Chain A
Amino acid sequence: MPIATIAGREVSLNDEGFMTDPAQWTEEIATFLAGQIGIDPLTDEHWKVIRFLRSDYTEQGETATLRRVSTLAGVDTKALYTLFPGKPARKMAYVAGLPKPKGCV
């Protein structure tokens, strides 16, 4: 499992570059990871989503789906596609230092 130093901290990543330990995450790391996928700068709207994902993960133990974010965080799906273009579910999780959502079974 690769280990990288990001924003002055050691973080473990999986093969796809997702962080594997949510506890290692910091806001500086989020800014760096967002830059890696072409999201720069992170606006207030981005942070609203990222903070929701972090707190929801702490409560639920799972990464929220797009529908869950759009229903509970007050940012609709269309906006999520604008904020995190292409594959928002993956990108949001990537920046928030969480596993990509399982999308259930």
Chain B
Amino acid sequence: MKRLLVLGAGTAGTVVVNKLRPRLDPAEWHITVVDQDACHHYQAGYLFIPFGIYRRRDVERPRRDFIPAGVEMILGQIEEIDPERQRVALAGGRHLDYDYLVIATGTRPVPAQTPGYDGDAVGDSIHQFYTADGAVALYERLKSWEGGRMVVNIMEFPFKCPVAPLEFTFLADWWFREHGRRDKVELVFATPMSEVFTKPVAASHLTGVLEAKEIRVETDLYVERIDADAGALVAYDGRELPYDLLVTVPVNMGAEVVARAGLGDELNHVPVDKGTFLSTRYPNIFALGDAAALPTSKAGSVAHFSVEVFADNFPRYVEGLEMLERFDGHANCFIESGFGKGLLIDFNYDTEPLPGKYPLPGIGPFSLLQETVTNHWGKMMFRWVYWNLLLRGREIPLPAEMSMYGKER
């Protein structure tokens, strides 16, 4: 029996076992997947929790429900990866040997990377919505917050879902207006980049949206520490940005176990070939989803598209055949912009987000880089698509490879 071991049953790990089980002969292949958390989280839904649109129960489901028959699922914490002995150790002393390893342990917020991000201020004047607990605490805070300056900031790049902090800011603007409090709130969006988004065409569209919503932008703000007593972000260049309520995106890092195994880069993300996800160091290790160091967005859509490519390649690879498919970096993200509207961006390694229609040229129904009601509904329907189609590896009528049809240069 050959053993395929998948670390992490998040978006990437779950889709990969669903796609590979039917393609690998059960008489020859044993597939195991490990995760530390009995709940699967629809993380994109965290965005809506602070505004009372979703509750915790809307974004959590039992993880086992999404693991197909014929795949062994183990609940436990992964403590060690030993690539030389091809063995993984779990907390409690259990060992798992493998022939092929897929690392899909994602990336997670690590507040402790920022000095001053601790103490009583956390959950009071300092918040984040990158975990279910954080999003719920922020919901409670917003209910009674009387106003002042809300700063939404990004600590470090890359982080998962690069549009989420912008969406949060747009939704905050909408929510305060709905609640008749917008005149009491000053909204500031602060980023370590020189633009509000990394790609120029999208950046200029999004800057326009921010201006229209009277959201102040602070660029090149690379935060050294939080001065919680003074209520200010202190940047490396000496600038200070005072806040009354800070909503931050903490530094995102891959799993600690990746670092311990010497498999990670400076943020514990695994260097891989960007077309095939094969580790640059071991011929029997792949990294998929947010865990991989790829020059495209860390997003569920990328995890999904990349697994499609991987699932086509893997059965060939183990037979000693060439991997024919190469991932192009395809990402697409709905950007919720408030007032029941949203934008959509679609891009890859080489092509930045451009205006146009998606997925059908000229027809849509979705519009790229434009605020529309249909885009908003696409985003809201996505939760259903995620639980019912995407995670289970069912066909979604969106091709893995990006297309230029329908886009306008």
Contact = CB atoms under 8 A, between A and B. Distances in A.
Answer yes or no: do A and B interact: yes
B265 to A, nearest CB: 7
Question: Mostly helix, strand, loop or mixed at chain B's interface?
Answer: loop
B111 to A, nearest CB: 16
Interface string A51-83: 000000000001001111001100001100100
Contact of B198 (A72, A81, A102): A102
Nearest to B192: A103
A67 B266 contact: yes
A105 B193 contact: no
A2 to B, nearest CB: 20
Contact of A78 (B156, B192, B198, B224): B224
B297 interface: yes
A81 B156 contact: no
Contacts of A65: 157, 266
Nearest to A87: B220
B295 A102 contact: yes
B237 A81 contact: yes
A68 B224 CA distance: 15
A92 B220 CA distance: 15
> Which of B198, B222, B296 lies at the interface centre, i.e. has the most chain A CB atoms within 10 A of its CB?
B222
A104 interface: yes
Contact of B236 (A72, A81, A104): A81
A38 interface: no
Contacts of B156: 67
A9 B315 CA distance: 52
A35 B222 CA distance: 25
Contacts of B193: 103
> Which of A103, A104, A105 lies at the interface centre, i.e. has the most chain B CB atoms within 10 A of its CB?
A105
A98 to B, nearest CB: 15
A93 to B, nearest CB: 13
Given A85-B237, A105-B198, 12 more contacts: A62-B295, A65-B266, A72-B266, A77-B236, A86-B237, A102-B198, A104-B158, A104-B198, A104-B295, A105-B199, A105-B295, A105-B331
The 3 closest A-B pairs by CB, nearest first: A71-B266, A104-B158, A81-B236
18 contacts: A62-B295, A67-B156, A68-B265, A68-B266, A71-B266, A72-B266, A77-B236, A81-B237, A85-B237, A86-B237, A87-B194, A103-B192, A103-B193, A103-B198, A104-B157, A104-B295, A105-B158, A105-B199
Interface of A: 62, 65-68, 71-72, 77-78, 81, 85-87, 102-105
